[in-house]
Amino acid sequence: MSKQLVTMLLALLLAAGVGAAVGAGVALSTENDPVAAGTTTTVPTGESVAQTTSSVAGLYGRAKDAVVEVHVSDGGAGGATGSGFVIDKQGHIVTNQHVVASGGSVSVEFSNGSEVNAEIVGTDPSTDIAVLDVNRPPAELTTLSFTTESSLEVGEPVVAIGSPFGLAGTLTTGVISALGREIVSPNGFTIENAVQTDAALNNGNSGGPVLDLQGRVVGVAAQIRSESGGSQGIGYAIPGDTARRVAADLIQDGSVEHAYLGVSLPNDGAARINEVVPGAPADSAGLQAGDEVTAVDGNAIESGDELREAIDSKRPGDKLRLTITRSGDERTVEVTLGERPASAQ
């Protein structure tokens, strides 16, 4: 493989061992945690271990018990190892979808060395988030909470805790190197607003938390960009806002529905449609390659990112009123969004 191709490989997923292939399809689990019909599940953003600390050591002392090592057995000599973290006293644990993608039996090991079996509540390959459930007394669980994307700043110190190469409880330090990055999910769709960090991430860090110095989760470690396969100071974490929202949906329903327009857009610049997927909602509404979307539901947009965010905020079946320009003419098109397919086409 050429150096250029390796450099462009953004999806070096960080689960150690086998069973973590890019794009491996997994049916969503139907073994959901019981949630009363009609209720809404929330994932906390409030206090757990989060509090102001004067040292990284102090932060680690509070947070380490919430971080687990995830073991996935394929029934043979192989398997996968990743990381995860507890998000509530009911025993729900967030990790990466690609860590558990093999569908093997799952267990988690806590910082005190105790290991318990875990059930997969649900997985979402479009965001590379999975939720596990363990049967453990609430008094024995330490939890982490999420911070909001709007509170993050480039240059802000962060730490990552996980099990690189199976070395449980490893802490690395760095800063938020950039915000608003785009990375590719296991099923080929774009994950928006990824957090870039130079805190070292390696095989086995997948699914572990990236924390600010208040102990709040700013992102879920997921990918690296590397020519060697090891950490070179460019790691990516799924944004905490996304992880929190998806985890809540998985806990409540066992799956996540993503709205789907069916167009390809540039990674930067105006929201000009590069391609329309045949048979997709955009095709049915008459959108064409070359159309530039300038407003959504009457609100002006200036980039493809803003259009993607508008779609992500909707549900399948919702309608969008798109203002477009085509060959210099402005027109309005109403689109009924569909449900995202299992993989990008």
Maximum Cα–Cα distance across the chain:
65
Is there a catalytic annotation at residue 65? Answer: no
- What CA–CA distance (Å, rounded) separates 339 from 60? 41
Contacts of 225 by beta carbon, 8 Å cutoff, 6+ apart: 7, 9, 10, 12, 232, 234, 235, 236
Place of tokens 């995830």: 70
Catalytic residue selected from 65, 128, 133, 241: 128
- Active-site residue among 102, 163, 206, 226? 206
In the annotation, is 206 catalytic?
yes
- Which amino acid type is present at position 148? T
Say which residue the tokens 């974490």 belong to: 237
Please tell me the distance from the alpha carbon of residue 177 to that of residue 195, in angstroms, as a whole number: 8
Mark out the alpha helices in the chain (DSSP H runs).
Answer: 3-7, 56-63, 240-253, 281-284, 304-312
Catalytic residue among 98, 231, 241, 305: 98
Active site residue 327: no
Across 214-280, where does the E strand assignment appear? 217-224, 235-239, 259-260, 263-264, 271-272, 275-276
Per the CB < 8 A criterion, the answer to whether 259 and 311 are in contact is: yes
Distance, CA of 51 to CA of 194 (rounded, Å): 24
Contact call for residues 97 and 128 (beta carbons, < 8 A): yes
Residue with the two structure tokens 């996540």: 256
Tell which residue, 38, 116, 93, has the closest CA to residue 251.
Answer: 93
Q: Any idea which residues carry the catalytic annotation?
A: 98, 128, 206
